[in-house]
Chains A and B, each alone.
Chain A
């Protein structure tokens, strides 16, 4: 093939451009730590990165959901512990009241004590977490218990659950993973209604110095305690399940992040080595180009 001067020059320019191109690419990779900057650099890889990122975002919301659910359950646990505590204190107070050494006056004092407990129990049953009533089913904006009067005997007090609203248990559920649902709340009606109303009846029996009725209510208080304990146990096992799920979610988040970085991030050792190599190539190309272009031609050697 006949080689002309322009071919030599063009070839030099092409080689320099190619070497510069590769250098530029590696420089970008090392500056951004990314394998590629545009989707078109690696379309299929980019598609899986997008899917992974979307999965990560979903998973991160699950993580947040699990945390806020945990907070709610911790608040529930605290409330139930208090409720159990109150019931137990009430039971021992009633025991004192039932003692033969106690007279009507002592019982009145104990009735005062129980009255305080009723107020405490009302507060506990109406516990708010982040301004939401946690024992009120879906109607988290409605106070669950209000003090009213017994419809059968208007002279008597009675705690009333969600006045005018459906009484059945509304389970609040949260998704803490794809297709993985957990019930968050405890039925306020079964847990507290009986307990508070038994406390009220106990107080009234103590006030009236009615030991027969007091005995009946003492047995009822045991039932109340059982209910509160049962709720505490259920909530506790839910918390354990949730903690396991939290561990799993954070583990899977880590895995997704690792996958994304594997697909997206440049191997810096590799890039640095390639960069050094490409620098050498570029230098060589430049040297060769300068030599071929400055070669003496025949015109100059002619006398």
Chain B
């Protein structure tokens, strides 16, 4: 061991304390940085060397060579990260769902005074008014206006729901692009992390960036993340890899012609382009709202329109108008078909009914070709349609109306009013469920984030204490170096004049 080893030890010490201080500074600087994991200098005692000065009869003694920084520790707990991300995915799904359901709720306006329920009620109340005074022209004219309002109510709602579905194409495509771009960045990081593992440098900043990207990915889509021993991540979606090492597999948003050009998500390398069912993340929320919630609402609107049309038409055709003619079908599908894609979009007042006199309010004629203007019994039967599941026996076509033609009946012997209410309740329950989901996942997520933060976050008081610790150690090291210097001065300068 050389005479200068003391200075060397002191230098090592100075450098180590300085580095530790720098790390502390870095922690303080990043106290508010999203995704930053606090770091700590791990100090190790230097490898002992033989000390000539300690040689005695027992042999040569070993003495420590000071301190060095073995590595920079990054505080993190993978367990909490995984839990946090899984909750984040679900939370993003429910948040997105809540937003979309609000939009749907606003568009359907079921709580407003202009709701479809009100329009349906008004329509049937219109028939009731005609039944009360079938011979007052104003009542009949009113009914035709009310019918027009009802038909528009169905059409507006169907149109806006379909529009919301279409709008999601852009939202989904953007998020799929996001996922692909994050996957690409993750693959690049994987390569760099892999390299740094081999040259034993600490890739802490890279790991922070990787974790931040994984969080961002989790908001978009639910994934399974596996961190390998070499620090590289393996990301997969439903068993199909998204990122392996430095390779990525792309997702694709493909429009489906058979489904009104709404996009589906599939793997770009899948020759069959099979649609993936994404559950979690914002994409999961959008897909659920678009396909399940809106799909269900549209179906129920269509069912209501179809059943309303079937029932009213059957009774209307069994009656007679002011001119003594049998009633025409009251409603028709505007596209002329019998089974349109969306009944709620196509339902309209029969264009052949051009005058209020053609409303068949009576169940009989006074004489062939002579109407019975005072008879409102047929109108009354139509008015009762809203609340009943049975039909007047005198209406022959009703008995032939099978459940297949009357989807509301098929849905469980319901009246039109009830069925419509159950549609609104269904949407409200979906919304409620989503809101609860947001709250539940948020509370777990907050707890997980706290755990994560508790391990990885920066506590400024702690850093202040550490700072003091390293500062003092640095000062002490400097003092030691000074002492060695003085010792050497004694040897070099003051031990006589030989050799000068």
A residues in contact (CB < 8 Å) with B: 1-7, 10, 14, 37-44, 46-47, 50-51, 53-54, 57-58, 60-62, 64-65, 68-69, 130, 132, 136-142, 164-166, 170, 172-175, 185, 297-299, 302
B364 at the interface (CB under 8 A from A): yes
Do A7 and B457 touch across chains, with their CB atoms under 8 A apart? yes
Q: Which residue in A43, A53, A170 is a CB contact (below 8 Å) of B425?
A: A43
Complex: chain A residue closest to B429, CB-CB: A43
Do B455 and A54 touch across chains, with their CB atoms under 8 A apart? no
B142 at the interface (CB under 8 A from A): no
CB distance from A175 to the nearest CB of B (A): 6
Q: Which residue in A14, A37, A62, A170 is a CB contact (below 8 Å) of B111?
A: A37
Which residues of B124-148 are within 8 A (CB) of A? Answer: 124-125, 128-129, 131-133, 135-136
Complex: chain A residue closest to B432, CB-CB: A40
Q: Which residue in A1, A50, A175 is a CB contact (below 8 Å) of B117?
A: A50
B residues in contact (CB < 8 Å) with A: 31-32, 101-102, 105, 110-111, 117, 121-122, 124-125, 128-129, 131-133, 135-136, 362, 364, 366-367, 370-377, 380, 383, 386-387, 417-418, 421-422, 424-425, 427-432, 435, 446, 449-450, 453-455, 457-461, 464-465, 467-468
CB distance from A267 to the nearest CB of B (A): 20
Q: Which residue in A4, A39, A142 is a CB contact (below 8 Å) of B105?
A: A39
CB distance from A57 to the nearest CB of B (A): 5
Chosen A-B contacts, 26 in total, with CB atoms closer than 8 Å, are A2-B457, A6-B457, A14-B446, A38-B105, A38-B431, A40-B435, A43-B428, A44-B425, A50-B424, A53-B117, A53-B121, A54-B421, A57-B125, A58-B124, A61-B383, A69-B132, A138-B373, A138-B374, A139-B372, A140-B135, A165-B366, A172-B375, A172-B376, A175-B131, A297-B464, A302-B468
Do B464 and A47 touch across chains, with their CB atoms under 8 A apart? no
Complex: chain B residue closest to A55, CB-CB: B387
Q: Which residue in B101, B128, B374, B461 is a CB contact (below 8 Å) of A172?
A: B374
Do A138 and B453 touch across chains, with their CB atoms under 8 A apart? no
Q: Is the interface of B mostly helix, strand, loop or mixed?
A: helix
**Contact (A130, B136) CB under 8 Å given A39-B424, A170-B375, A172-B374:** yes
**Contact (A40, B366) CB under 8 Å given A6-B31, A53-B121, A174-B132:** no
Contact residues in B for A7 (Cβ distance below 8 Å)? 450, 453-454, 457
Do A38 and B428 touch across chains, with their CB atoms under 8 A apart? yes
Complex CA–CA separation, A4 to B32 (angstroms): 10
Contact residues in B for A40 (Cβ distance below 8 Å)? 101, 105, 427-432, 435
**Contact (A58, B128) CB under 8 Å given A38-B428, A39-B424:** yes
Do B374 and A185 touch across chains, with their CB atoms under 8 A apart? yes
CB distance from B67 to the nearest CB of A (A): 24
Complex CA–CA separation, A230 to B148 (angstroms): 46
